[in-house]
Amino acid sequence: MSVKYTYWEWNNSLSLGISAIDSQHRRIVDYINELETARIANDKIGISQVLIGLIDYTMTHFAFEEELMQLGDYPYLNAHRQSHESFTKRINHYVEQHENGVDISRKLLSELKLWLSEHISRDDKHYVPYVKKCITQDWLSNTLAKFSTLNMFSLNN
Ligand SMILES: [Fe+2]
């Protein structure tokens, strides 16, 4: 892919001040831009590939966040988990449609951006004070080792 398009630009208002989480959120934004690039190029195989990576990465990121909330005894973990689960269901519905040959990329992009920006600035921001002081280097390296998908991020900027 030569020309890259930007659908959603990361900005610091989305930052939670927890570098592991911030870099995962940035990688998701990166995936969204890769999806936009494949969509504009009308690259159907590219769209499928990005979708697989985006979904795998996002699900693993959710699991990572849930471990983090558990670490911090976050009292609203169940509600947050439910929010992750219902979003996952919606995304899987898009994937099904995509597999049936429906062009869902534009709708999916808009939903991803809307849901994620709201989720990060409202739900994720809420757990920060509960978890921030609990993160140790040991916990971080053990948990990142467990969720190896998250280690494969490479930001191009
Ligand atoms: Fe979350």
Averaged pLDDT for residues 7-24: 95
Write down the domain spans for the chain.
18-148
Q: Report CA(82)–ligand 1 centroid distance (Å).
A: 10
Q: Report CA(157)–ligand 1 centroid distance (Å).
A: 24
74-13-109 Cα angle (round to 5): 90
Let me know if 111 is exposed, middle or buried by CB neighbors in 10 A (0-12, 13-18, 19+): middle
CATH placement of domain 18-148:
1.20.120.50
Length of the chain: 157
149 vs 104, more confident: 104
pLDDT digits (tens, 9 = 90+) for 124-134: 999 999 999 99
Q: Report CA(120)–ligand 1 centroid distance (Å).
A: 7
Give the whole-angstrom CA distance, residue 96 versus residue 132. 37
Q: Report CA(1)–ligand 1 centroid distance (Å).
A: 30
pTM above the 0.85 mark?
Answer: yes
Q: Report CA(80)–ligand 1 centroid distance (Å).
A: 7
Q: Report CA(136)–ligand 1 centroid distance (Å).
A: 20
